[in-house]
């Protein structure tokens, strides 16, 4: 069973439930196709998103705020054969964890990073993050946000990420992109637009979503990806492209060190580690 018996403490109707459902379906599918639970590891940061750790029966670490990616990297160095998934909120990924995000994209370690982007620090009751729109008000920012938000898709393209995707919090879309991300040999960045029903008004986002694939976007074309990434600046919501913006091949971190290559060949598993 991939589900745990933990009672969920997410708000009723939270879109994190969609991410959890998609991830569980994806893992169950992989297990049905012959993978073992022990082949996977998950790492989470701190925040509402991080509770996914309690609801999925897989090995891993509920780590520190902003430190998901170095923890994922550590797991890959310890056992390069593990299939590793990291989960962060937008605060976790783009504020506290920003330096790790850039360098992990640059390293191109073979792992998948899922960012639950609700455009607020939700667990600490709704402070603005680097992707909050101008004018957003809360108790810490009574005059409203004045600084233009960051565009994480463009950031990832610029940092050299080899798989860059954004999806809406829809179970089918997430499951599809997780499968593609897992097949990809390198760092896969997957942002999920995850409306926060309590602290961020995302009304109307769903109507602005469109699929890059359906519009014939060429995911191997960097310039086309850059252009598409500019269509939604996280500030003004006119249209939100979703799907795989960019995918390319580049040397993978784990394949560039003799010791890691040897570990990979040996195929170490939990048996060897527990000895
Ligand atoms: C180093 C550090 N700074 C701040 C905090 C306080 N803190 C706990 S959860 C949280 C907000 C998390 O927001 P986000 O990463 O966007 O995740 P969400 O709750 O929205 O899913 C913060 C700031 C912390 N635990 N550790």
Instruction: Give me the chain's average pLDDT, please.
Output: 96
Task: Kindly report, residue by residue over 235-245, the tens digit of the pLDDT.
Answer: 999 999 999 99
What is the structure's pLDDT at 275? 47
Provide the whole-model pTM.
0.97
Give the domain ranges of the chain: 16-269
Q: Which atom of ligand 1 sits closest to the CA of residue 92? A: 15
Task: State what percent of residues in the chain have pLDDT above 70.
Answer: 97
Locate 218 and state its tokens.
């060429």
Task: Kindly report, residue by residue over 114-153, the tens digit of the pLDDT.
Answer: 999 999 999 999 999 999 999 999 999 999 999 999 999 9
Confidence category of residue 155, pLDDT binned at 50, 70, 90:
very high
Confidence category of residue 264, pLDDT binned at 50, 70, 90:
confident
CATH code for the part of the protein at 16-269: 3.40.50.970
- Average of per-residue pLDDT across 257-265: 90
What is the structure's pLDDT at 173? 97
Q: Which atom of ligand 1 sits closest to the CA of residue 93? A: 15
The CA distances from residue 42 to 86, 151, 230, 260, in Å, are 6, 25, 31, 20
- Average of per-residue pLDDT across 187-201: 96
Task: State what percent of residues in the chain have pLDDT above 90.
Answer: 93
Nearest alpha carbon, ligand 1 atom 22: 124
Give residue 123 CA to ligand 1 midpoint distance, Å.
6
Locate 251 and state its tokens.
């040397």
Locate 113 and state its tokens.
């990073």
- Average of per-residue pLDDT across 88-112: 98
Res 16 pLDDT > 90: yes
Res 274 pLDDT > 80: no
Is the Cβ atom of 225 under 6 angstroms away from ligand 1?
A: no
What is the structure's pLDDT at 19? 98
| Residue keyed to tokens 């003004």 | 236
Res 161 pLDDT > 60: yes
Q: Which atom of ligand 1 sits closest to the CA of residue 118? A: 20
What is the structure's pLDDT at 267? 80
Nearest alpha carbon, ligand 1 atom 12: 47
Res 22 pLDDT > 60: yes
Q: What is the DSSP string of the chain?
A: --B-SPPP-SPTT-THHHHHHHHHHHHHHHHHTT--GGGEEEEE-SSSGGGHHHHB---EEE--TT-HHHHHHHHHHH-TTSEEEEEEEHHIIIIITHHHHHHHHHHT-S-EEEEEE-SEETTTT-EE-TTPPTT--BTTBTT---SPPP-HHHHHHHHT-SEEEEEES-HHHHHHHHHHHHHSSS-EEEEEE---TTTS--TTHHHHEEETTTTT--TT-HHHHHHHHTT--SSS-S-EEEEEEEE-----GGGGSHHHHHHHHHT--HHHHH-
């Amino acid at each position: 069973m991939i589900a745990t018996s933990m009672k969920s403490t997410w708000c009723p109707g939270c879109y994190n439930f969609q991410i959890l459902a998609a991830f569980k379906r994806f893992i169950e599918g992989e297990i049905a196709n012959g993978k073992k639970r022990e082949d996977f590891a998950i790492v989470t940061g701190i925040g509402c998103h991080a509770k996914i750790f309690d609801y999925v029966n897989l090995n891993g670490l509920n780590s520190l705020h902003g430190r998901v990616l170095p923890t994922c990297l550590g797991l890959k160095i310890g056992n390069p054969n593990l299939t590793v998934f990291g989960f962060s909120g937008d605060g976790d990924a783009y504020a506290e964890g920003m330096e790790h995000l850039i360098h992990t994209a640059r390293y191109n370690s073979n792992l998948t990073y899922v960012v639950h982007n609700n455009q607020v620090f939700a667990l600490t009751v709704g402070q603005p993050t680097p992707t909050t729109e101008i004018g957003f008000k809360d108790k810490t920012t009574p005059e409203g946000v004045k600084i233009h938000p960051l565009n994480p898709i463009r950031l990832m393209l610029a940092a050299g990420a080899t798989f860059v995707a954004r999806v809406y919090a829809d179970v089918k879309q997430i499951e599809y992109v997780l499968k593609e991300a897992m097949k990809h040999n390198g760092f896969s960045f997957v942002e999920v637009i995850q409306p926060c029903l309590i602290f961020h008004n995302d009304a109307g986002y769903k109507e602005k979503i469109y699929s890059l694939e359906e519009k014939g976007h060429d995911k191997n074309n960097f310039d086309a990806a850059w252009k598409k990434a500019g269509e939604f600046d996280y500030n003004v919501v006119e249209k939100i492209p979703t799907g795989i913006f960019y995918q390319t091949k580049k040397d993978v971190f784990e394949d560039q060190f003799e010791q890691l290559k040897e570990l990979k060949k040996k195929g170490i598993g939990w048996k060897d580690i527990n000895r």
